[in-house]
Structure 1
Amino acid sequence: MNRQQILDLYTWRAGVCFRHPDRGEVPTTLVKVLHPLDTDEHPLRACEDCVVAIEDTKRETAKRTGGTYEPGQVGGSAG
């Protein structure tokens, strides 16, 4: 799959990437919702570059270990 095909698997909205907060609001997708004990839930969002990097890592890991790679599952589910 190419970059755009992978990005099309996700739902995007303006937000702040957990790895690149200095970029400000950019298109992001929900990766996970954290539930700290002392505060309300905290959505963890990733930008397009991070999603592609995470997908690349997941694909390489699956190839190396003989596992199955399913694009669109960053954070466990499409989002």
Structure 2
Amino acid sequence: MPTAHVTTLRPAAGGLQDVRACEECVVAMEEEQAEAARGRGCTHEYGRLAADA
């Protein structure tokens, strides 16, 4: 299944861990972020999941 890169985590223990998600999950996460932003009276810029987390 194709996935998209969402972000890269840098654990305190060292190393790097890529976070990836399928298209359906990315869309669902974007919708959740947009809803949360509306609840705070803000706007959500699509395509910035990791930046808004």
Q: What band does the TM-score fall into relative to the shorter chain?
A: 0.7 to 0.9
Q: Quick check: 1:60 aligned with 2:35? A: yes
Count, aligned residues:
52
Q: 1:71 corresponds to which residue? A: 46
1:20-47 Cα shifts (integer Å, max 9, x gaps): xxxxxx2211111122344521111111
Q: Secondary structure at the match of 2:5?
A: strand
TM-score (norm 1): 0.55
Secondary structure, in 3 states, of the residue corresponding to 1:62? helix
- Corresponding residue SS for 1:67: coil
Q: Higher Cα Rg: structure 1 or 2?
A: 1
Distance 1:36 1:63, change over 3 A: closer
1:1-79 alignment runs, 5 A limit: 26-76=1-51
Gaps of 5+ in 2: none
> How many percent identity over aligned positions?
38
Cα RMSD for the two superposed structures: 1.9
